Structure 1
Amino acid sequence: MQDKPRAPRNRTLTLSEQEIAKYRQRLIQLDQPARLSKIINRTIHQDIFQIMDFLPQASVDLLFIDPPYNLNKTFNSNSFKKQDLDAYTRWLDGCLSGLERLLKPTSSIYICCDWQSSVAVFTAIKNRFQVRNRITWEREKGRGASKNWKNASEDIWFCTVSNTYTFNVDAVKLKRKVIAPYRIKGVPKDWEMTATGNYRLTCPSNLWTDLTVPFWSMSENTDHPTQKPEKLLAKIILASSNPGDVVFDPFLGSGTTSVVAKKLGRQFLGVELDELYCCLAEKRLELAETEPGIQGYCQGVFWERNSLNQPVKQP
């Protein structure tokens, strides 16, 4: 809910009491095993550890996990307390052991973490999945430090269940401005000359510097303290799923994974412990029906951050 007046240009999504009452009616809870058809494209308001066994086996094509990092952190009505690294590793392993049965043989898994918990994630996945890569993305927000390097990045481990998996490389190429245009006999080499500048489509790497963490003037922003950018989820969903596939997020937060999956023509399922965040997710899903754009993704291309003449909405 909104506790105090916002600045006129603040576009952060909030909920009125009436909206909470409205969206609360859309949430579901499970007390027995459920078929996928009964829960698909819904938000489950429960603790993922209490309902893992109720979710349908071999039903998920893409699993995106953004768990609480091993930090003291408050998420509205719930808190996570920092543990020693071994205890956090066991916590992650218990989570993955329950989620593993939901995956298809062709599924992909992405797990978010910070630099301190990255080793715990690797320990939990190294003997469970095929570890493909570790993505590092620039999180340009962050507090300065007088006796250390400013922490401005996070990791995402990319895994698969088997050696048969989806990876749509052409769907996630990045459009960059060409600084030194090279020509062969006067013809541009691997770049395009346009009226608004020279650009090149480049293959995606495991270093992502083109993301903007949601902030107050962005329409996707909420008060969730660790909200991921829609553009980040778009990269993962486009690369590692196909239209109609099932994308699952067991720590849904304010709904970014479900929202982006919906915008990109995938099916989705999310579980979130906090009711307010569940309601925010439902509001965002409703808004996605009339506002399908993803900032930084336009005409099937991801644009480099702060590119001049960058479109911000899909046509």
Structure 2
Amino acid sequence: MAEIKEFKEFVPIGENACIALGDAITKLQTLPDKCVDLIITDPPYNLGLFMKKRGTNMNKLREGHFAASGWDDLDFNEWTRQMNILFQECHRVLKKKGNLIMFMSIIKVETLINLGQENGFYYKTVGVWHKTNPLPRNMNLQFINSTETWIYMVNDGTTGTFNNEGKAIHDFVETATISNKERKFGKHPTQKPIGLLSHFIEILSNENDTVLDPFMGSGSTGVSCKKLKRKFIGIELNEKYYKLSEDRILNDI
């Protein structure tokens, strides 16, 4: 099999990472079969239209918020169709018993579990990421949104790599959001902290394994992989965030 730095349409970033600018599904289709050990990704939650219909004051949302961005407001049926194709491609490029972690809004979890199972994935569990320092938006009107869910699946098998070292690991992960250091080159509106991604990468893959993020955003998965001695493949549609990812991976930030 070709080294990841030789993959068609992907640009090498150092020795053990390569990234591509473009549509996730289109770029995935250029990768060879069974070339990835772990997929960890944070695809669009498709909540833009939902947020607008709830009467959210869009003018007061911070710049770049997902609900005002325009890239998260597909029709539900179209989003489901695209996610089904995404699962097909993830199944193809992921090795037998390879792991998948996908972050997602809790109201979309059942849809993705069903799609995953239809495409060769074994559903393991749904877990929660708790942010210890969430923005206190509307704190006098409602409960502060401080959690996101993640789905854990295994490709063509019931159990994959699980480096728990004999310890019980709960499906509840608690970290702060991104640090100031992680904002050095810019930031993404749904950026995940390196500590959170490293938690999953250490448990669900081994050194020198290849990790894929089809929606790499600000490149946090790639930075985590470099620190943990994993190979990385990343895809990003937005040119601004693609450049941000490149800068962060090159500088280990």
1:132 and 2:124 correspond? yes
CA spacing shift, 1:131–1:220, aligned 2, 3 Å:
same
- Partners of 1:163 and 1:266 lie apart in 2 by 23
Aligned to 1:183: none
- Partners of 1:285 and 1:97 lie apart in 2 by 28
Q: Contact conserved, 1:65 with 1:249, CA < 8 A, in 2?
A: yes
Aligned to 1:141: 134
CA RMSD, aligned part only? Answer: 2.3
Q: Contact conserved, 2:4 with 2:18, CA < 8 A, in 1?
A: no
1:151 and 2:119 correspond? no
Paired residue total: 221
- Partners of 1:88 and 1:47 lie apart in 2 by 14
Aligned to 1:115: 106
Shift of 1:36: 3.5
Which structure has the larger Rg? Answer: 1
Aligned to 1:55: 31
Q: Contact conserved, 1:61 with 1:103, CA < 8 A, in 2?
A: yes
Q: TM-score scaled by structure 1? A: 0.64
- Aligned-residue identity in percent: 29
Q: Of residues 9, 17, 21 in structure 2, which corresponds to 1:45?
A: 21
- Partners of 2:144 and 2:110 lie apart in 1 by 20
Q: List alignment gaps of at least 5 residues for structure 2.
A: 8-15, 49-63
Q: Provide, for residues 160-195 of structure 1, a one-character-per-residue CA deviation record: whole Å limited to 9, x for no partner.
A: 011341000029x6xxxxxxxxxxxxxxxxxxxxxx
Select between 128-137 and 224-233 the one with higher mean Cα deviation: 128-137
- Partners of 1:252 and 1:51 lie apart in 2 by 13
Q: Contact conserved, 1:134 with 1:156, CA < 8 A, in 2?
A: yes
- Partners of 1:87 and 1:46 lie apart in 2 by 19
Q: Provide, for residues 94-150 of structure 1, a one-character-per-residue CA deviation record: whole Å limited to 9, x for no partner.
A: 211122110100200011111222222222223331111111011341423555433
Shift of 1:74: 6.0
Q: Contact conserved, 2:31 with 2:93, CA < 8 A, in 1?
A: yes
Matches within 5 A, 1:1-315: 36-39=4-7, 41-72=17-48, 79-83=70-74, 85-128=76-119, 129-139=121-131, 140-142=133-135, 143-144=137-138, 148-161=142-155, 162-170=157-165, 203-209=168-174, 211-215=175-179, 218-221=180-183, 222-288=186-252
- Partners of 1:257 and 1:87 lie apart in 2 by 27
Q: TM-score scaled by structure 2? A: 0.79
SS of 1:50's equivalent? helix
Aligned to 2:55: none
CA spacing shift, 1:74–1:152, aligned 2, 3 Å:
closer
SS of 1:169's equivalent? coil
CA spacing shift, 1:50–1:127, aligned 2, 3 Å:
closer
Q: Contact conserved, 2:27 with 2:235, CA < 8 A, in 1?
A: no
Q: Contact conserved, 2:128 with 2:173, CA < 8 A, in 1?
A: yes
Amino acid paired to 1:169? N
More helix by share: 2
Q: Contact conserved, 1:111 with 1:121, CA < 8 A, in 2?
A: no
